[in-house]
Amino acid sequence: MKTDILFLTGLAIALCGCHRGGDSIVGTWAVDKVNVQFDERRNTPELVRQIGEMEKQNTITISADSVLTLTNADGSMTGRLHLLDDGTILVDAMPIGQWKDRQIVTRTGSPIGEVVVTYRKR
């Protein structure tokens, strides 16, 4: 009996970590928008288009046991998700994005610019 109560308490705490404002982050997320913000003097429009098309193939899957899998054209990455109170999404203690207004937003910076990808739940 005591073990059951401890298990249920632990499960409730884990699930609360994946909820904010009544919406669940658990599920599969597909790309809604891609904004490639590259220095136009250093890149061609074709490169910007190709990067945008590659990013559109990404998906994020978050399971009820707080495992996040990011799948892209190069393969997939899996790690343990932790959602901070401010909406910051950490995977294995590394910030990867923000969860706000029922969407996930990731930002990837490089010397030639930034790619901002917005995900919506399927």
Confidence category of residue 2, pLDDT binned at 50, 70, 90: very low
In this structure, of 81-85, 109-113, 117-121, the range with the lowest mean pLDDT score is 109-113
pLDDT score recorded for residue 20:
44
pLDDT score recorded for residue 10:
39
Fill in the DSSP letter of residue 1. Answer: -
Q: How far apart are CA 72 and CA 48, in angstroms?
A: 17
The predicted-structure confidence for 44-102, as pLDDT tens digits, reads as follows 999 999 999 999 999 999 999 999 999 999 999 999 999 999 999 999 999 999 999 99
Q: How far apart are CA 74 and CA 43, in angstroms?
A: 22
Q: Which residues contact 30 (CB under 8 A, 6 or more apart)?
A: 59, 119, 120, 122
Domains of the chain as residue ranges with CATH? 2-121 (2.40.128)
- Is residue 119 over pLDDT 50? yes
pLDDT score recorded for residue 39:
85
pLDDT score recorded for residue 88:
98
What's the first-to-final CA gap in the chain, in angstroms?
38
Q: Say whether pTM exceeds 0.85.
A: no
pLDDT score recorded for residue 40:
79
The predicted-structure confidence for 6-46, as pLDDT tens digits, reads as follows 333 333 344 444 444 447 999 999 999 999 999 878 889 99
